[in-house]
Amino acid sequence: MKRLVFLAAVFPNVFLALTTMTSFAQASGQEIRACDFDLKGGCRSGQVRVTLADGKVVGLDAFVIWCGRGGHRKSLDYSCTINSARGDGESTWSDDAGATVINDGSPYTDPTKPDRIKVTVGRDVSIDLDEAQSLWRCGAGAELPLTIVIPAQGRTCRVRLRAP
């Protein structure tokens, strides 16, 4: 897992291309829903991918980049990464009222607060990151958005950011 986080931080496009190709190689009977976004003149951008098997969420990959000071990308330290799969041993997955809830078991999270992601699949795929902890997933100055929606049509995500 540490190597995946390193690859994602150093080579984000290569990482996503490799994970996408790997998923397609293993994707017999699987569906991939993906989108990307570019907000505020490129200062907040990213890509997200949800893997479904028989309509059930089995994987979530996301990479979010924030600009450094001065409004431009200076370093990939301003990025967030999520790489989670059902049965990965690092997270606990459950189904709750039509949504998949991913609880992270990382020792780096604050144990006094929840660290969970809620994924709801319908016509669109909605990823609720409101209770996901950004601290250990993100470098300095970056944070996860509140929600990301993968539309049924088109490749551009709808993203809701946290209030400044």
Domain ranges of the chain: 2-160
d(CA 105, CA 47): 23
For 32, 105, 153, the CA distances from 20, given in Å and listed in that order, are 9, 25, 19
Q: What is the pLDDT along the chain (164 residues), one digit of tens a residue?
A: 444 444 445 555 544 444 444 444 454 689 999 999 988 666 788 999 999 999 899 999 999 988 766 555 555 557 899 999 999 988 999 998 889 999 988 888 888 888 999 999 999 999 999 999 888 788 777 889 999 999 999 899 999 987 76
3-state secondary structure of 115: coil
d(CA 36, CA 32): 13
d(CA 148, CA 151): 10
Which pTM does this prediction carry? 0.78
3-state secondary structure of 64: strand
